[in-house]
Amino acid sequence: MDGAGGPRVTAAMVAERAGTSVSTVSLVVNGKSRGRVSPAITERVRTAVHELGYVVDHAASSLARGRTDLVVLLAPDLPNPYFGRVTTGIREALGDRHQLMLSVIASGTQPGADDVRRVAAFRPAGLLVHAPSPTFLDELDPGGPPLVLLDAPGFEDRAATVTFDLRPGVRALVGHLAAAGHRTIAYLDGATPSATFAVRRAWLREIAATHGITVLGAGDDPDRPPAATGHARDGSAGSDRARDGSTRSARTPDHSTRPDRAPDDSARSARTPDGSTRSDRTPDGSAGPVRAGLSLDAAADTAVGAIPGWLDAGATAVVAAADTLAYGVLAAAHRLGLDVPGDLAVAGFDDLPYSQVTAPPLTSVALPAEELGRAAAHRLTALLTGTDTPGPAPLASRLAVRASTAPP
Amino acid sequence: MDGAGGPRVTAAMVAERAGTSVSTVSLVVNGKSRGRVSPAITERVRTAVHELGYVVDHAASSLARGRTDLVVLLAPDLPNPYFGRVTTGIREALGDRHQLMLSVIASGTQPGADDVRRVAAFRPAGLLVHAPSPTFLDELDPGGPPLVLLDAPGFEDRAATVTFDLRPGVRALVGHLAAAGHRTIAYLDGATPSATFAVRRAWLREIAATHGITVLGAGDDPDRPPAATGHARDGSAGSDRARDGSTRSARTPDHSTRPDRAPDDSARSARTPDGSTRSDRTPDGSAGPVRAGLSLDAAADTAVGAIPGWLDAGATAVVAAADTLAYGVLAAAHRLGLDVPGDLAVAGFDDLPYSQVTAPPLTSVALPAEELGRAAAHRLTALLTGTDTPGPAPLASRLAVRASTAPP
DNA sequence: CTGAAAGCGCTTACAG
DNA sequence: CTGAAAGCGCTTACAG
C-alpha cells in the first residue's frame, strides 16, 4: 500500500544469476545477441530474465540510448467518439515499434504551452497532434521532435500533415440540400478554434454560393489570429495568395495533392472567402457565426437559442460542424417542438456510427477517422526512418444521406 | 526531418550560463531553492532556463529519483464514448501532480501480459485499470505499482477498487419493465469478459426473478475462469461464500460500503446465482448468453441474428449491457421491420448523451462515468500519499426512463 | 565470444 | 549558501 512496488529487478541481478555480465544481458534482451553471444549463455540469460521477471527500465534505457520509442498524441477532445476512432487507427499502424502515449488535455481546452513542455520532458521520438489550433503550433519549440498534424488543413507548409479532402462530401451535401429545395441554411460551428472547423465552414459557404444558397453563420472567422506570422490565412482552406507570399522553405513538394489544389478544382473554388480581411467580430445580425461546445448538451443549449433566429432569417436547414453538434440540434429541435426534417433539415460532419440510429437518422459528411490515424502514423514512422515521401493524398470525404435531410 | 530535434538543452548548459552549478540548477527548477539558494542566483538560473528553453529530462530525473510521476491508465476500449468520459474525470482529479499516460490496447482486446510488461518498463507511480477481466489481474506482477481498478466489482479484496452500485438502477429498470407488463426479457451481453458485465447480467437476472420475470441469455457465465484461485466467484456480484473462503489479508475494511453488502440488501439478493457451478457452455436453447462486440455495427449484426429467437421465446424487451450495444439493437430492430417499443422494448447501461436523441430515445441505467474517474484518481493519490481510506461508497446508478421502453 | 568502463542527464546527501 | 561527487540502470564502443 505504500507504493514501494518491491525491489526492482535490474540487469545486474539477471547477470549474476546467469553467471555473466550486464553487457551480455543487455545484448540478449535487446535481440542483438545473434553472433555476439553464444547460444548457451543466451539461453541462460533468457531463463534468468524469465525467472526474475526482468523488464528493461525505460528511463535508463532511453537515457543511455539518447532516444525514446515514445510517440505522443496530443488529445484535445477525448470524450468525442470521433477521436477514439482516430486513436484506434494510430495504434493499429504504429505497431510494436513505438509506445503510444496519449497526453490528455482538459476537455474543451486546446493544448497549451504547459502541455507541450510536459511532453517535451519525455523526449518523444515523434509527436502527433490532432486538429491543432493555429496558436498551438506557434508555441512549439522549434527544436522539437518530428511532428505530424492530423486534420490540420492549411498547415501543410509548416509540418507534415494528414488531411481530409472535404470537397466531395461538402459538394454532395450542398447538391443534396439544393435538390431538396433549400435556399438558406444555417451553420453551427464548433467552439474549438481548430483549423479543420474553419475549413469546413469555408467550403460549405463557398460551394453553397455556387448553388445560390445562403449560409447563415458561416462568415469570416473572428477568432482567426491576426496574420502576423503569415500563416494565419493558411488556417483556412488555403488561398493561393497566402501561399505565394509564404517564406516557408519546407514545403510539401506535391502541391497537387492538397485538397485545395486538386486537378478538378476550379480557380474560383480553390480560393476560399477566408482570404478576405473583413472582420465580423461585431456580429452582423443573423449572419454572425454561432459556436457551440462539442458536447451534445452544450450544443443543444446553444441551438435552442439560435434556431428561432435562423428560422426568422429563412433558414430551412442546419449544418453542424460535427455530428455531436448535430445531435444537439436534433435535441434542440425536439425541445422547440420542431419536426426534422419537416420544419428543419439537419446534417453534420464525421458520420459517427450513432448517426444511424438518431431520430431521424442523420445525414453527415463522412470523414474516415481510422484511416486518418493510420495515415498519420505511417507518415510519422516514415519521417523517423528518413523515408518520408511528399505526403499522401488527402483522404476523401463522402456523404452519408439519411432521413434528417429528406425533402419535407 | 531526420528526427534530430536539435541539441538538447541540459542542466549543465543552464548552469554555465547562470554561472553556477548543476546542483543549484536542479534545486531551482524543482522549487527546492527556498532558503537554500540565494535570491540572486535563483533569479539568474530562472532567466537562463527561460532563455535556453530548458526542460528537465524526464528519464534522467526519474532514474535519479528512483520514482516517476506517471500514472498509467490501461485503456481497453477507447472508441467507446463512455471511456472518454471516465478519462476526463481521471484527468480532472489527477491535476498537475501526475502525468497521465494512456496505454492504448488494441480495440476489442483485453490487456495482455505484453501490455503489462511494456507498462512496467515505465515504472509508473500508479496504475489505473478500467473494467479489467479476471485473467488480466492474474497476469499482474505481484511487485507492481499501486493499483486502482475502475468498475471492477468483486475485486475489492484483491486491490483498491472503485465501483458502481448497480442495484438502484437495475431495480428501477426491472420495476419499470414489470409495470409495463413485460414478463420475458432478453439480454444482450458484451463480448468483453470484464467483471462489470458479469455483474450487470447477474443483478438483472436476480432482480428480475423477484418480479417473476424471465431473462433469456443471462445464465451463468461460461467464460468465467475456473475457481482455481478462489477469486473466480468474486468476479460476480460477490457471494458470502466466496469471500469467507478467501485467504486474502488486504481486505477493504468497510465491507458495508460494498454494493453487495448495503444495509437495505436482503440476504437473498446479496447472493448472486453465479455462485452456482452449473456450466452452460453447451448452449441450453434460447437461454444461452448472446454476446456482441461493443461497436454499434457488431451489435447490430449480432442482434439481427438473435432477435427472432428471442421473440419466439416470448421476449417483449431487450436489455443490453451497454448503450452502444443497445444502439445496435435499435438498428437491428429497424432492419427487421420491428417497432420499438411496440414490438420490442429496448434498454441499455451507461446512459451516454446520445441516448437522448436515438429513435426512440433510449431508456438506460445511468452510470456516472466522470465521477468514477474522479473517484479512482482520488483513491490512487491517497494510496500514493499513504492516506488511503477504506474506499469510497460505490457510486449509485439510477434509471433514465425514455421512450424506448414505453408501454406498447 | 565476453566483460570492464564510460557516459546518458539528472538528484541528493555530503562537504565546505 | 554553494558545488564536487556518487549513483540511478542502462547501452555502447572498446579492449581482450
Which grid cell sits at A194? Answer: 481548430
Whether residue A359 and residue B360 make contact (CB cut-off 8 A), yes or no, is yes
Bridge partners, residue B283, by sequence: none
Flag whether pLDDT at A231 surpasses 70: no
Flag whether pLDDT at A263 surpasses 70: no
So what's the pLDDT on residue B310?
95
Mean pLDDT, residues B144-150 taken together: 88
In the block, residue with C-alpha cell 419537416: A342
So what's the pLDDT on residue A304?
97
DSSP B370: H
Q: Straight-line distance from CA B62 to C1' D3, in Å? A: 22
CA distance A212 to B10: 60
Residue of A nearest to B2 (CA): A386
Helices (H) and strands (E) in chain B, counts: 14, 14
Mean pLDDT, residues A340-366 taken together: 97
Mean pLDDT, residues A356-380 taken together: 96
With H, G, I as helix, E, B as strand and everything else as coil, classify residue B346.
strand
Residue A115: pLDDT band with limits 50, 70, 90: confident
Q: Which domains does chain A have, with CATH numbers?
A: 11-56 (1.10.260), 68-164+370-393 (3.40.50.2300), 165-258+283-368+398-405 (3.40.50.2300)
So what's the pLDDT on residue A102?
84
**Structure confidence by residue, pLDDT tens digits, A316-330:** 999 999 999 999 999
Whether residue B55 and residue A7 make contact (CB cut-off 8 A), yes or no, is no
Flag whether pLDDT at A356 surpasses 70: yes
Residue B101: pLDDT band with limits 50, 70, 90: confident
**Run of H or E residues at A372:** helix A369-384
So what's the pLDDT on residue A12?
93
Mean pLDDT, residues B164-178 taken together: 97
DSSP B234: G
So what's the pLDDT on residue A35?
82
Residue A194: pLDDT band with limits 50, 70, 90: confident
- Which range among A169-183, A391-405, B74-88 shows the weakest confidence by mean pLDDT? B74-88
Bridge partners, residue A189, by sequence: A291
More confident position, B111 or A14: A14
**Run of H or E residues at B70:** strand B70-75
| Residues in contact with A105: Cβ distance below 8 Å, sequence separation at least 6, in sequence order | A74, A75, A76, A111, A112, A115
Residue B145: pLDDT band with limits 50, 70, 90: confident
A212: left (phi over 0), alpha (psi -120 to 50) or beta: left
So what's the pLDDT on residue A266?
32
Residue A138: pLDDT band with limits 50, 70, 90: confident
- Using a CB-CB cut-off of 8 Å, the residues of chain B touching A384 are 3
Which of B74-78, B151-155, B275-279, B296-300 holds the top average pLDDT? Answer: B296-300
So what's the pLDDT on residue A371?
95
Flag whether pLDDT at A262 surpasses 50: no
- Using a CB-CB cut-off of 8 Å, the residues of chain A touching B6 are 142-143
Q: For a pLDDT cut of 70, what percent of chain A falls above it?
A: 77
Q: Straight-line distance from CA B21 to C1' D14, in Å? A: 32
Nearest CA-CA partner of A75 in A126, A111, A117, A47? A111
Flag whether pLDDT at B298 surpasses 90: yes
Residue of A nearest to B139 (CA): A53
Which of B106-115, B132-141, B220-229 holds the top average pLDDT? Answer: B132-141
- Using a CB-CB cut-off of 8 Å, the residues of chain A touching B292 are none
So what's the pLDDT on residue A133?
75
Flag whether pLDDT at A379 surpasses 90: yes
Residue B272: pLDDT band with limits 50, 70, 90: very low
Can you state the angle between helices B58-65 and A58-65, rounded to 10 degrees? 130
Flag whether pLDDT at B81 surpasses 50: yes
Bond from prior residue into B341 cis (ω within 30 degrees of 0)? yes
Flag whether pLDDT at B265 surpasses 60: no
Strand D: list positions under 7 Å from protein Cβ: 1-5, 7-13
Flag whether pLDDT at A260 surpasses 50: no
Flag whether pLDDT at B211 surpasses 90: yes
Can you state the angle between helices B323-335 and B81-94, rounded to 10 degrees? 160
Q: Do residues A130 and A71 make contact, with C-beta atoms less than 8 angstroms apart?
A: no
**Single-letter amino acid code for the residue at A51:** E
Residue B248: pLDDT band with limits 50, 70, 90: very low
- Within 7 Å: CB of A295 and strand C? no
Q: Do residues B52 and B14 make contact, with C-beta atoms less than 8 angstroms apart?
A: yes
Using the CA of A67, give the nucleotide whose C1' is nearest: C8
- Using a CB-CB cut-off of 8 Å, the residues of chain B touching A80 are 81, 84
Which of A134-138, A370-374, B116-120 holds the top average pLDDT? Answer: A370-374
CA distance B280 to B357: 37
| Residues in contact with A237: Cβ distance below 8 Å, sequence separation at least 6, in sequence order | A153, A154, A198, A199, A202, A203, A206, A259, A260, A272, A274
Residue A141: pLDDT band with limits 50, 70, 90: low
Which of A184-193, A312-321, B376-385 holds the top average pLDDT? Answer: A312-321
More confident position, B209 or A6: B209
Mean pLDDT, residues A137-155 taken together: 82
Flag whether pLDDT at B254 surpasses 60: no
Which grid cell sits at B203? Answer: 443483478
CA distance A305 to A287: 15
Mean pLDDT, residues B90-102 taken together: 86
Flag whether pLDDT at B251 surpasses 80: no
Whether residue B2 and residue A142 make contact (CB cut-off 8 A), yes or no, is no
The distance of B121 to chain A (nearest Cα, Å) reads: 5
CA distance A59 to A62: 5
Flag whether pLDDT at B66 surpasses 70: yes
Mean pLDDT, residues A140-144 taken together: 72
Mean pLDDT of chain B: 80
**Run of H or E residues at A83:** helix A81-94
Report the Cα–Cα distance between both ends of chain B, in Å, rounded: 64
- Within 7 Å: CB of B26 and strand C? yes
So what's the pLDDT on residue A224?
41
CA distance B313 to B17: 81
- Which range among A370-384, B49-63, B212-226 shows the weakest confidence by mean pLDDT? B212-226
Flag whether pLDDT at B243 surpasses 70: no
So what's the pLDDT on residue B258?
39
**Structure confidence by residue, pLDDT tens digits, B312-369:** 999 999 999 999 999 999 999 999 999 999 999 999 999 999 999 999 999 999 999 9
- Using a CB-CB cut-off of 8 Å, the residues of chain B touching A5 are 123, 143-146
With H, G, I as helix, E, B as strand and everything else as coil, classify residue B214.
strand
Backbone angles phi, psi at A148, to 5 degrees: -130, 130
Which grid cell sits at A188? Answer: 453551427
- Which range among A51-60, A294-303, B88-97, B220-229 shows the weakest confidence by mean pLDDT? B220-229
- Which range among A121-125, A299-303, B181-185 shows the weakest confidence by mean pLDDT? A121-125
Whether residue B8 and residue A123 make contact (CB cut-off 8 A), yes or no, is yes
Q: What is the DSSP string of B131-176?
A: S--HHHHHHS-TT---EEEES-TT-TTTSEEE-EE-HHHHHHHHHH
Count A/B contacts: CB-CB distance under 8 Å. 192
So what's the pLDDT on residue B93?
92
In the block, residue with C-alpha cell 496505454: B103
- Which range among A113-122, A260-269, B78-87 shows the weakest confidence by mean pLDDT? A260-269
Flag whether pLDDT at A116 surpasses 50: yes
So what's the pLDDT on residue B289?
82
More confident position, A69 or A337: A337
So what's the pLDDT on residue B278?
28
Whether residue B59 and residue A68 make contact (CB cut-off 8 A), yes or no, is yes
Residue A158: pLDDT band with limits 50, 70, 90: confident
So what's the pLDDT on residue A164?
95
Mean pLDDT, residues B71-85 taken together: 84
So what's the pLDDT on residue A406?
85
Q: Do residues A286 and A309 make contact, with C-beta atoms less than 8 angstroms apart?
A: yes
- Which range among A97-111, A177-191, B10-24, B297-311 shows the weakest confidence by mean pLDDT? A97-111
Mean pLDDT, residues A269-290 taken together: 41
So what's the pLDDT on residue B312?
95
CA distance A110 to A223: 14
Which grid cell sits at A62? Answer: 532511453
So what's the pLDDT on residue B83?
87
- Within 7 Å: CB of B61 and strand C? yes
| Residues in contact with A95: Cβ distance below 8 Å, sequence separation at least 6, in sequence order | none
Strand C: list positions under 7 Å from protein Cβ: 1-5, 7-13
So what's the pLDDT on residue B240?
34
